[in-house]
Amino acid sequence: MSFAQKTPTPAASTARPHHWLQVILAGGCFSLAFAPLTWRWAVVPALFLLLHALRGQSPKAGARLGFVFGFSAYACTLTWLWQVFGAFSLALFAILALFTGGFGWLHGIVESRIASFGKRNLAIAASWLACEYIRSEHFWLEFSWATPGLAMGPHQMLQIIGVYGASFGVVLGTAFLQKSSTVYGGIVILSPFLYGVWVTQSQKPAAPRSPVKVMLVQNESSDFEEHLAASQKAEADVQLVVWPEISASRDPRRVPDQWARLKEEAQHHQRIFTLGTYTPSPDERGWYNTALTLDATGALGTHVKHHLVHFFNEGIPGQSFVPIPTALGQIGTSICFDNDFEDVPRRMTLAGAEFFAVPSMDPARWGARQHEQHSELVRIRAAENYRWFAVASSSGVTQIVDPKGRIVSRLPPLTEGTLTGIVGREQYLTFYTRWGWLFPGAVTGALAIWLVAPFFRRRS
């Protein structure tokens, strides 16, 4: 098929055996970009193989190929889902693959409508972005893992276009690699992302402004006494102690002895605590997954987890996205799964959060691979919003992340212990935090208008 033609070539309705082999290999290659290997560059050849297999395919054939690619990619990348859900994980892989199948279907439509190679590539990148954005943020089974933007890891471009914009750019650049005369254009498009990843990984973490010394507790239990005992071993100049999600199985405010001891500990060392707990709803019929922040005077504020983990009972979702005002500055206390999505950290940053203290939970039985893949998402949020993140996770990865998404220090998964370090306070708002987050919604809306426009023209 020659892209130099003035009109689109008739699409093939049936894929050949080598096309099926290509998309299966592409899916396996795609998984190499994520933990445990984290070969970030692998996302480019994976997408190249996929796009090459989709060339000249009808929407139906493209949908089938896209589905097989997605199933292969997610089954290889998210193997830890088998440890959580068993055989049901096959259904989850299939559901996720429906979106890459949707991309294959859109790819066929784009090729049938657009003859210009450049415009076609823009529409192909928009099609990928729309499928990824809907799957990650607006589908009932919202799931933002295993995307090209996430595969690239933290880099400076995230401050402008965010992780969805990075996916758009990577797909667009790879699409231009499909034709020999536009390879250099593809390299130019991909260069800011590849260079940004290299720079971010090679540079030393930033020096913190207005430093705050924190101690993070990594403990799998929900035992108040264990977490308090670990906190009492903190260095004398620690200013903030963070416990994991649900580190106290009962809200300490409802247990007088625990509440008094916590305030006494805060008073004795002039410390602030942020911890995860259950909080009953006002009518006592439900409960909230809560991040509670307190000092010697009592509760300073709470955040209720907004994004609840699917298939698990996590209570009533929260609807507030405000930081907690403290003597150490405005602290964002987004909880675990909240940071898998762009909205909660971004809204907290817009509302004044100067850094984040995150209670998180990753059960040990889910395995180190899940922990490592999950820990990458908070680094993306740090880079998008240019904020320090201090994450206390139940069994890992407990980590301190600088405003460019670089790991300053961390504890390995599946261990118990504490991590002490410094975070900084930032007030700068990135372009992404202010306006860049609108990009995926705008692209998705424009693509939808383009898809339905021919039907209105026919009717008129």
Q: Tell me the C-alpha distance between 51 and 41, whole Å.
A: 16
* Per-residue pLDDT band at 4 (split at 50, 70, 90): very low
Strands 272-280 and 240-242 turn out to be parallel
pLDDT digits (tens, 9 = 90+) for 54-83: 999 999 999 999 999 999 999 999 999 999
Q: How many CB atoms lie within 10 A of CB 303?
A: 27
pLDDT tens string 301-314: 999 999 999 988 89
Q: What is the pLDDT of residues 165-186, one digit of tens each?
A: 999 999 999 999 999 999 999 9
Question: Which two tokens mark 35?
Answer: 């933990």
Q: Phi and psi of 116, rounded to 5°?
A: -65, 125
Return d(Cα 105, Cα 19) in angstroms, integer: 15
Q: Look up residue 136 and give its DSSP letter.
A: I
pLDDT at 120: 97
Q: pTM for the whole thing? A: 0.93
- The answer to whether 302 touches 279, Cβ cutoff 8 Å, is yes
332-382 pLDDT per residue, tens:
999 999 999 999 999 999 999 999 999 999 999 999 999 999 999 999 999
Task: Please say whether the beta carbons of 241 and 233 come within 8 A.
Answer: no
Helix (H, G, I), strand (E, B) or coil at 212: strand
Contact 244, 274 (CB under 8 A): no
Distance from chain centroid for Cα 81? 17
- Per-residue pLDDT reduced to its tens digit, 404-447: 999 999 999 999 999 999 999 999 999 999 999 999 999 999 99
Adjacent-strand bridge partners of 287? 280
- How many residues are listed for the chain in this entry? 460
Contact in structure between 35 and 139 (CB atoms under 8 Å)? no
The pLDDT mean for the chain works out to: 94
Give per-residue pLDDT as tens, 180-207.
999 999 999 999 888 877 777 777 877 8
The 10 Å Cβ neighbour count of residue 191 is 11
Task: Count the neighbouring beta carbons within 10 Å of the beta carbon of residue 91.
Answer: 10
Q: Sign of the CA dihedral 163, 166, 170, 175?
A: positive
The predicted pLDDT at position 2 comes to: 39
